[in-house]
Amino acid sequence: MVDRPLNILIAGVGGQGSLLAGDVLATAAVSHGYRPVVGQTFGAPRRGGSVLTHLRFSDIDLGPLIPYGKVDVLIGLELMESLRAAISHCGLKTRAVVSPIRVHTAATLSGEEKYPEEGAVLDSLASICGEVYDLDRLSELDKALASRSLNMYLVGFAAGLAEEQLPSKKVRKAISDIVSPPEPSLESFDNGLAALKTTRSYRSEI
């Protein structure tokens, strides 16, 4: 076994592009010599439900689900789903990058339930994960949203976090190989990667 497999978990809501983000990272992993295993949930849960994509990069076929606490990088495409995934799979070794995007549920749209406050979610994430990076609402992030490539913005940021085990150059190459058209995705990827330099990890105020 590789001394340390790289475990990446992508959390989001159906339609946010987590499957494509997973494919990009897995393609990059192949080019770097790993034997990736990708576990996905799809089918009925895709109608607006939570979606988790498990990426496990090693040199043997690991199980398709990341064990509890073993996530190295959490890519949170949606705020509350990031916390849901952290609760079920993350721990002190986890570095989480979290989008500020909220997708409401039927109950939070109607006001029957309250969508949790961003601060509370981040505090809670920080109490579970080793490091949490909450993405600022920079114009680049809005641009990624507008070009429907928020997933690649986060992949860029995460590629920076995982640089040692998976060079971001290879991830970028994977985007040009499998995403069409690649341009908006590459731009979002570059912006996400650049954002890592200016984003400090979240410190709870309490």
Tell me: does residue 119 bind other proteins (CB under 8 A): no
The gap between the terminal CA atoms of the chain, to the nearest Å, is 41
Dist. CA 51–CA 68, nearest whole Å? 17
Cβ closest to other proteins, residue 73 vs residue 125: 125
Q: Residue 16: how many CB atoms within 10 A of its CB?
A: 22
- Given a contact cutoff of 8 angstroms between Cβ atoms, the answer to whether 44 and 121 are in contact is no
Q: Which residue in the set 108, 176, 199, 201 belongs to the binding site for other proteins (CB under 8 A)?
A: 108
Dist. CA 83–CA 129, nearest whole Å? 10
Could you tell me whether strands 50-58 and 35-40 are parallel, antiparallel, or unpaired per DSSP bridges? antiparallel
Q: Count, in order, helices (H) and strands (E) of the chain.
A: 8, 6
Tell me: does residue 165 bind other proteins (CB under 8 A): no
Could you tell me whether strands 73-76 and 6-13 are parallel, antiparallel, or unpaired per DSSP bridges? parallel
Q: What residue type is 198 in one-letter code?
A: T
Q: How far is the CB of 108 from other proteins (least distance, A)?
A: 6
Q: What is the size of the binding site for other proteins (CB under 8 A)?
A: 62
Q: Which residue in the set 2, 42, 169, 183 belongs to the binding site for other proteins (CB under 8 A)?
A: 42
Tell me: does residue 30 bind other proteins (CB under 8 A): yes
Q: Which residues within the stretch 64-83 sit at the binding site for other proteins (CB under 8 A)?
A: 64-65, 67-70, 80-81, 83
Q: Which residue in the set 2, 45, 137, 142 belongs to the binding site for other proteins (CB under 8 A)?
A: 45
Q: Residue 34: how many CB atoms within 10 A of its CB?
A: 20
Cβ closest to other proteins, residue 6 vs residue 128: 128
Q: Which residue in the set 138, 173, 178, 182 belongs to the binding site for other proteins (CB under 8 A)?
A: 178
* Interface contacts to other proteins, rule CB under 8 A: 1, 13-14, 23, 26-27, 30, 35-50, 60-65, 67-70, 80-81, 83-84, 86-87, 90-92, 104-116, 120-121, 124-125, 127-128, 178
